[in-house]
Amino acid sequence: MDVLLNDDENLIVDSAREFLAGECPTTLVRAMENDPLGYSRDLWGKVAELGWQGMCLPEKTGGSNMPLVYLGLVLREAGRALAPLPLHSTAVASLAIARDGSAAQQEKYLPDVVAGKSVLTWAFTERDPRYVPEAVRMSARAQDDHFVLDGVKLFVDSFPAADHCLVVARTTPGSKGAQGLTLFIVDARSQGISHTPLITLAKDKQCQVDFKGVQVPKANVIGRVGEAWPIVERMLDRGTALLCAQMVGATRKDIEMAIEYAKFREAFGQPIGAFQSVQHMCADMQMWVDGGELLTFEALWKLDQGLPASVEVSQAKAFCNEKCEAAIRNSQNIHGGIGFMMEFDLQLWFRRVSAWTMRMGTAFEHRARIAHALIDVPGEVVLGRPVPVVPEDDAAPVPTARPAAAVPA
């Protein structure tokens, strides 16, 4: 993996940053916090013209088939600008269809995503907030040529704007763990679906979604019935890494504002940046965001290459959760009282980054996942190499579950 960006990657970053600087002022960010759908339809159409929604999707569906790292760079810039777009939720769901859906499903759903005519999302979390197969209680029973879904999903991102939602449900009654899970493409306007907006720290559009007798055609199953967990786990890993990209983008912008403020804000006759304590805070923030970015793009690169990346994804999320939040708190302290005022734009970045640290796994839970890979698997530990998979017949069962996720704010 090259640490420095190549010419194509720099072009993507520069064009995305220039575009969002002109099209996404903080006035739009504030306005969309109070908008029922939470995103700008005009801006969504413009980014479709730039090819963002289809960046990593197959060429046969109108996409560009670019590496996942490129999408990470775009999401980093979207995070930097706090762009009010359902780009993350749509990317996570559309990539799952592109990588594991049938040819018919790809042809049916992805062209509209590429064209900016469709918004997608996904639903996993239930009353048990962990991102593990045991947490799934929603039922799906077969009936003629369709399945009937019943249950509740929580913290579903961008659901008011979504046209379709990927839903994980249990199709085998009484099954446990990863057995009996199935992934469905569900029309978000189906009869029997209702949603309730949730009040969150970020003021984003997360919802509780109730499914009561919702009929889903059997043709809308991704993969094989009852065998969806590997597909879901890959989807969650991609989503976690892309969320980290948003976090480091937003954190870097927050840090830049703090450093600039330290240069001109005076106290005791000199800029506060002249004081060693403030200097060290600025240095820490820079080191933290650089470290988070390197871990994030290592994870994205490994996902691109088809290499085992679960440990790298968890390393990135655990580090970003702690260090990005520490950085934005340092920024608040450098700004002093004004940094905590709602009228001052800094709080927009503080609230978003803080909320993102609580989505898709806490630092504690991702550490547990890393520790499991290092310690719970028999054999010689060689850092930087894939962890060997031990057959269940030869060793004690090794849990494949992702870390538990904190309830998103």
Please say which residue of 174, 191, 226 terminates a domain. Answer: 226
Q: What is the pLDDT along the chain (409 residues), one digit of tens a residue?
A: 777 888 899 999 999 999 999 999 999 999 999 999 999 999 999 999 999 999 999 999 999 999 999 999 999 999 999 999 999 999 999 999 999 999 999 999 999 999 999 999 999 999 988 888 999 999 999 999 999 999 999 999 999 999 999 999 999 988 888 899 999 999 999 999 999 999 888 888 999 999 999 999 999 999 999 999 999 999 999 999 999 999 999 999 999 999 999 999 888 888 888 899 999 999 999 999 999 999 999 999 999 999 989 999 999 999 999 999 999 999 999 999 888 888 899 999 999 999 999 999 889 889 988 988 888 666 666 666 665 555 545 444 444 445 444 444 4
Instruction: Indicate whether 397 belongs to any domain.
Output: no
Please say which residue of 226, 257, 285 terminates a domain. Answer: 226
Domain that holds residue 346: 230-376
Q: What pLDDT is attached to residue 406?
A: 42
127 and 20 within one domain: no
234 and 362 within one domain: yes
Instruction: Indicate whether 267 belongs to any domain.
Output: yes
242 and 222 within one domain: no
Distance CA 398, CA 374 (A): 12
Please say which residue of 95, 118, 141 terminates a domain. Answer: 118
Instruction: Indicate whether 381 belongs to any domain.
Output: no
Instruction: Indicate whether 386 belongs to any domain.
Output: no
236 and 339 within one domain: yes
pTM of the model: 0.90
Instruction: Indicate whether 389 belongs to any domain.
Output: no
CATH number at residue 75: 1.10.540.10
Residue 153's nearest CA partner among 206, 74, 94 is: 206
Distance CA 87, CA 345 (A): 22
197 and 134 within one domain: yes
Q: What pLDDT is attached to residue 157?
A: 94
* Number of domains within the chain: 3
Instruction: Indicate whether 170 belongs to any domain.
Output: yes
Instruction: Indicate whether 266 belongs to any domain.
Output: yes
Written as six digits, the tokens of 196 are 């309730």
91 and 127 within one domain: no
β-bridge partners, 206? 157
Instruction: Indicate whether 296 belongs to any domain.
Output: yes
152 and 90 within one domain: no
Distance CA 405, CA 408 (A): 8
